[in-house]
Structure 1
Amino acid sequence: MDFYLTALLQGLCFSALALGIYISMKIFNIPDITTDGSYTLGGAVTGVMLTQHQSPYIILPAVIIAGGVAGALTGLIHTKLKINALLAGILVMYGLYSVNLTILGRSNLPLINVPSLFSLLDLVTDPNQNTFWILAVFVIVITFLIGYLLKTDFGIAMRATGNSESMIRALGVNTDRMKITGLALANALTALSGYLIVQFQGFADISMGIGIVIVGLGSVIIAETLINWFKITSVWLSLVLVLVGAVVFQLVLAFTLAIGVDANLLKIVTAGFVLLIVGLPRLSLLKAS
C-alpha cells in the first residue's frame, strides 16, 4: 500500500512537469528536451537554498525564475538563431548539466533534518496527509493559473501559434515572442516539479532529471488519449486530465514494483508502457480502416 501512497504523492509532485510538457509539446508542438535540465535546475536551486536555511517561500520564486530563464534561452536559440527546436533544447540541457553541478557543488546533496515546505506547514497531524494536502493546494493553484492564462487573449494567441503559426502571424502576432514565453513558462513549471520532488524525497541529485521528460510525456499521452476518447474541447478539463495522467502514470509504475518486477527494469517497463499508450489508438484506427 505504501507503493501506491508514494506514487500518488509523486504524481502530484510531477503535475507541474506534466503541465509544462503539455504547453511545450501540445500547445506549441515543440519537443523541448530542456526539461531534463530545468527539472534538475529547480531541484539544485531548492537543495542548495534549503541547506543555507532559506525559506521555501523565498526559494519558490527563485526556482520559477531559474526555470523560466532556461526555457527562454531555448526559445531564443530556436527563434533568433533559427536552430531546430529539438537541437536547441538539447544544447541548453547539455549546458545546464554543468550549471547544475556547479550549483550543487557535488553529485548528490542530502537534505536530512533540513526544514522543508512539508515540515514547516502543518495542516493535519499525519505527515502523509499533510504532504498530500500541501501538494493538492499547489496543484489546484497552478492549474487555475494556467487555465486562466490560456483563456485570456494572450493565451489564445499562444494556442493559435501552435495550431497555425502562419495565420496568427498574418494577424500581427509576434510568434517568436509567443514561443519564447511559452517555453519559459513550460520550463518554469518543470523547475517547480524539481522544487517539490527534492523536498519530498529529501535529496537533490545531478542525475535526477535524466529521462524525466518521458514521465511528463507519458502523463500527457494518457491525458490526450482520454481527451480523444471523450472528445473533450474544454481547456479546463484538458488540464485536469493532464493532472490525472501524471498520477495514473506513477500508479502504474507503483503497480509494476508491487507485483515484483525488478527495479532495475523499471525504465524499460516505463518505456514499454508509454509505447503501449501511444500505439493502442493507432492500432485501433488501423483495425477500423
Structure 2
Amino acid sequence: MSFYLTALLQGLCFSGIALGIYISMKIFNIPDITTDGSYTLGGVVTAVLLTHHVSGYLILPAVIIAGWIAGGMTGLIHTKLKINPLLAGILVMTALYSVNLTVMGRSNLPLVSISSIFTSLTVLADPNQNTGLILLVFVIVITLLIGYLLKTDFGIAMRATGNSESMIRALGVNTERMKIIGLALANALTAVSGYLITQFQGFADMNMGIGIVIVGLGSVIVAETLINWLRITSVWISLILVLAGAIIFQLILALTLSIGVDANLLKLVTAVFVLLIVSLPRLNRVKD
C-alpha cells in the first residue's frame, strides 16, 4: 500500500512537469529536452537554499525564476539563432549540468533534519495526509493560474502560435516572443516539480533529472489518450486530465514495483510503457 501512497504523492509532485511538457509539446509542438536540466535545477536551488535555512516559501520564487531563465535560454537559442529546438534544449540541458554541479558543489546534497514546507506547516496530524494536502493546494493553484492564462487573449495567442504560426504571425503576433515565453513558463513549472520532489524525498541529486522528460511525456500521452477518447475540447478539463495522467503514470510504476519487477529496470519499464501508449492509437488505425 505504501507503494501506491508514495506514487500518488509523487504524481502530485510531478504535476508541474506534466503541465510544462503539455505547454511545450502540445501547445507549441516543441520537444523540449531542457526539462531534464531545469527539473534538477529546481531541486538544486531548493536544497542549497534550505541548507542556508531559507524558508521553503521564500525559495519558491527563486526556483521559478531559475527555471524561467533556463527555458528562456532555450527559446532564445531556438528563435534568435535559428537552431533546431531539440538541439537547443540539449545544449541548455548539457550546460545546466555544470551549472547545477557548481551551485550544489557536490553530486548529492541530503536534507537531514532540515525543515521543509511539508514539516514546517502542519495542518493534519498524519504526515502523509499533511503532505498530500499541501501538494494538492499547490496543484490546484498552479492549475488555476495556467488555466486562466490559457483562456486570456495572451494564452489564446500562445495556443494559436502552436496551431498555425504563419496565420497568427500575419495577425501581428510576435511568434518568437511567444515561443520564448512559452518555453520559459514550461521550464518554470518543471523547476517547481524539482522544488517539490526535493523536499518530499529529502535530498537533491545531480542525476535526479535523467530521463525525467519521459515521466512528463508519459503523463501527457496518458492525458491525450483520455482527451481523444472522451473528445474533450475544454482547456480546464484537459489540464485536469494532464494532472490525472501524472498520477496514473506513477501508480502504474508503483504497480510494476509491487509485483516484483527489479527497481533497476524501472527506467526500462517506463520507456516501454510510454512506447505502448504512443503505439496503441496507431495500431488501432492499422487494424481499421
Q: What is the TM-score with the length of structure 1 in the denominator? A: 0.99
Alignment correspondent of 2:93: 93
User: Counterparts of 1:4 and 1:19 in 2: how far apart (Å)?
Assistant: 22
Alignment correspondent of 1:20: 20
User: Counterparts of 1:75 and 1:271 in 2: how far apart (Å)?
Assistant: 27
Alignment correspondent of 2:79: 79
2:217 counterpart of 1:201: no
One-letter identity of the residue aligned with 1:108: N
Question: Does the residue aligned with 2:54 lie in a helix, a strand or coil?
Answer: coil
Question: Following TM superposition, by how much is the alpha carbon of 1:79 offset from its aligned partner in structure 2, in angstroms?
Answer: 0.2
Q: Deviation per CA, 1:114-158: give whole Å up to 9, x if none.
A: 000000111100000000000000000000000000000000000
Pairs within 5 Å for 1:1-289:
1-288=1-288
Question: Does the residue aligned with 1:172 lie in a helix, a strand or coil?
Answer: coil
Question: Following TM superposition, by how much is the alpha carbon of 1:249 offset from its aligned partner in structure 2, in angstroms?
Answer: 0.3
Q: Deviation per CA, 1:170-200: give whole Å up to 9, x if none.
A: 0000000000000000000000000000000
One-letter identity of the residue aligned with 2:249: F
Question: Does the residue aligned with 1:236 lie in a helix, a strand or coil?
Answer: helix
Question: Following TM superposition, by how much is the alpha carbon of 1:285 offset from its aligned partner in structure 2, in angstroms?
Answer: 1.1
Question: Following TM superposition, by how much is the alpha carbon of 1:205 offset from its aligned partner in structure 2, in angstroms?
Answer: 0.2
Structure 2 unmatched ranges of 5 or more? none
Question: Following TM superposition, by how much is the alpha carbon of 1:225 offset from its aligned partner in structure 2, in angstroms?
Answer: 0.2
Q: Deviation per CA, 1:49-97: give whole Å up to 9, x if none.
A: 0000000111000000000000000000000000000000000000000
Q: Deviation per CA, 1:200-220: give whole Å up to 9, x if none.
A: 000000000000000000000
User: Counterparts of 1:131 and 1:203 in 2: how far apart (Å)?
Assistant: 16
Question: Does the residue aligned with 2:260 lie in a helix, a strand or coil?
Answer: coil
**How large is the Cα RMSD of the aligned pairs?**
0.4
One-letter identity of the residue aligned with 1:196: L
User: Counterparts of 1:247 and 1:57 in 2: how far apart (Å)?
Assistant: 24
User: Counterparts of 1:225 and 1:169 in 2: how far apart (Å)?
Assistant: 30
Question: Does the residue aligned with 1:100 lie in a helix, a strand or coil?
Answer: helix
One-letter identity of the residue aligned with 1:206: M
One-letter identity of the residue aligned with 1:207: N
User: Counterparts of 1:4 and 1:12 in 2: how far apart (Å)?
Assistant: 12
User: Counterparts of 2:197 and 2:172 in 1: how far apart (Å)?
Assistant: 41
One-letter identity of the residue aligned with 1:274: V
One-letter identity of the residue aligned with 1:176: E
One-letter identity of the residue aligned with 2:273: F
Structure 1 unmatched ranges of 5 or more? none
User: Counterparts of 2:169 and 2:196 in 1: how far apart (Å)?
Assistant: 37
Question: Does the residue aligned with 2:59 lie in a helix, a strand or coil?
Answer: helix
User: Counterparts of 2:121 and 2:258 in 1: how far apart (Å)?
Assistant: 31
User: Counterparts of 1:50 and 1:231 in 2: how far apart (Å)?
Assistant: 44
Calculate percent identity across the aligned residue pairs: 80
Question: Does the residue aligned with 2:37 lie in a helix, a strand or coil?
Answer: helix
User: Counterparts of 1:230 and 1:58 in 2: how far apart (Å)?
Assistant: 40
Question: Does the residue aligned with 1:204 lie in a helix, a strand or coil?
Answer: strand
Stretch of structure 1 that moved more, 265-274 or 183-192 = 265-274
One-letter identity of the residue aligned with 1:119: T
